[in-house]
């Protein structure tokens, strides 16, 4: 499977948002985290991110099909943050997210990365740890069902 990253533009905001909602809806239903879950965000939030000069939004394209997206925020001091990264449910568990992360590193460099994920989601933790990320020790309790944990590489 060939994985490419294609830079998204402001005109892609509604497509990105629809894909994001579809990708995160199950987690929103599971954890009821309406303040932090990307499925609960209005499209305006995606539009505002696309307007940020430090933001790079990419569609994840697998064999010419848009299967997800990844946003990279490059901070002035060199730190890079992934938020969000998502793959549509029908394309998950095929190594796509891992390949997309590698492509981001090829574009933006291989160090000074950070991200957060849901402590209760073992598959996400496994992916990030396999990619060389380690826990910072920082965590944030969102509600009685969900805790965010923070990683860096």
Structural domain count of the chain:
1
Give residue 128's pLDDT: 97
Question: What is the predicted pLDDT for the residue at 76?
Answer: 87
CATH of residue 130: 3.40.630.30
Full-model pTM = 0.95
Tell me the residue range of the domain where 52 lies.
Answer: 3-152
Average pLDDT over residues 57-72: 97
The arithmetic mean of pLDDT across residues 1-17, rounded, is: 97
For residue 99, what pLDDT is reported? Answer: 97
Summarize the confidence of residues 8-36 as an average pLDDT: 97
Residue 24 has pLDDT above 90, yes or no: yes
Which percentage of the chain shows pLDDT scores above 90? 97
Mean local confidence (pLDDT), 131-153? 97
Q: Residue by residue, what is the 3-state secondary structure of the chain? A: CCEEEEECCHHHHHHHHHHHHHHHHHHHHHHCCCCCCHHHCCHHHHHHHHHCCCEEEEEEEECCEEEEEEEEEECCCCCEEEEEEEECHHHCCCCHHHHHHHHHHHHHCCCCEEEEEECCCHHHHHHHHHCCCEEEEEEEEEECCEEEEEEEC
User: What are the structure tokens assigned to 125, written together?
Assistant: 């933790």
Q: How confident is the model at residue 152 (pLDDT cuts 50, 70, 90)?
A: very high
What's the pLDDT tens digit per position in 71-120?
999 998 889 999 999 999 999 999 999 999 999 999 999 999 999 999 99
pLDDT at 77: 87
């Amino acid at each position: 499977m060939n994985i490419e990253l294609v830079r998204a533009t402001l005109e892609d905001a509604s497509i990105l948002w629809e894909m994001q909602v579809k990708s995160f809806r199950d987690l929103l239903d599971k954890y009821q985290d309406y303040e932090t879950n990307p499925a609960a965000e209005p499209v305006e939030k995606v539009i505002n991110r696309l307007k940020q000069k430090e933001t790079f939004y990419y569609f994840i394209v697998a064999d010419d099909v848009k299967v997800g997206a990844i946003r990279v925020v490059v901070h002035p001091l060199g730190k890079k943050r992934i938020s969000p990264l998502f793959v549509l449910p029908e394309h998950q568990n095929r190594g796509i997210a891992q390949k997309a992360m590698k492509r981001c590193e090829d574009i933006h460099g291989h160090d000074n990365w950070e991200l957060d994920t849901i402590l209760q989601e073992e598959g996400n933790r496994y992916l990030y740890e396999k990619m060389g990320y380690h826990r910072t020790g920082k965590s944030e309790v969102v509600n009685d069902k969900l805790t965010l944990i923070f990683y860096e590489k």
